[in-house]
Amino acid sequence: MTIDGDLERAAAATRAAYGRIDVVVANAGFGVVGPVERLALADYRRQFETNVFGVLRTVHATLADLKASRGRLVIIGSVAGHLATPGSSPYSMSKFAVRALAEALGHELAPAGVAVTLISPGLVASELRRVDNRGTLHAELLEPMPGWLVVPAERAARTIVRAVARRRREVVVTGHGKVAVFLQRHAPWLVAAGLRAFRLRSRAEPARR
């Protein structure tokens, strides 16, 4: 999603196969993590090129189709777009930006009949936490989060489909994600105190064993 022309070709292939595009899911992302003093500007640029500009490329490649069909644009954000933890500044910055994009486009595209839905997942089963800061997947590594915290992808997908069908503005996926967003909105001082008291940090960058 960072190469000029790729998304335009994908959109053209979809039109050729199905005749029209009614739903677009803009889901581009990996996570750059670490304390700011250990990260270079290039790390932040790499993060934004995929997570923010990858989403924008998707929008630009399909916007005319969605206006023609009065369709649905789904933008995949994150709970990290509401709540930033220590060591997550690149990823959270990118997801805050994606949330702002979804909010703005929701207003812009409403007159054209296009519904914009922001999906903000918490911990959902994916390869994300096995990808390092350069975007390389370490498939041999295990999921670093406890299994009871991670929601199966199939369950998350059902939630997303329902939200899109109902033209919802935003849906937070996972119970713990909903709690985190609620507390950040209504009691940010409590969230800050908890992060500092328990020294909670973002996950560590995965590294090959």
Q: What angle do CA 200, 95, 62 make, to 5 degrees?
A: 160
Beta strands across the sheet bearing 23-26: 23-26, 72-76, 115-121, 170-173
The pLDDT of residue 209: 47
Task: Indicate the pLDDT class of residue 9, thresholds 50, 70 and 90.
Answer: very high
pLDDT in tens, 42-62: 999 999 999 999 999 999 999
Domains within the chain, CATH numbers bracketed:
6-197 (3.40.50.720)
Tell me if 23 sits within 8 A of 164, measured CB to CB. yes
Out of 55, 91, 117, 171, the active site residue is 91
Residue 18 bears catalytic tag: no
Describe the chain by its helix, strand, coil percentages, rounded to 5: 55, 10, 35
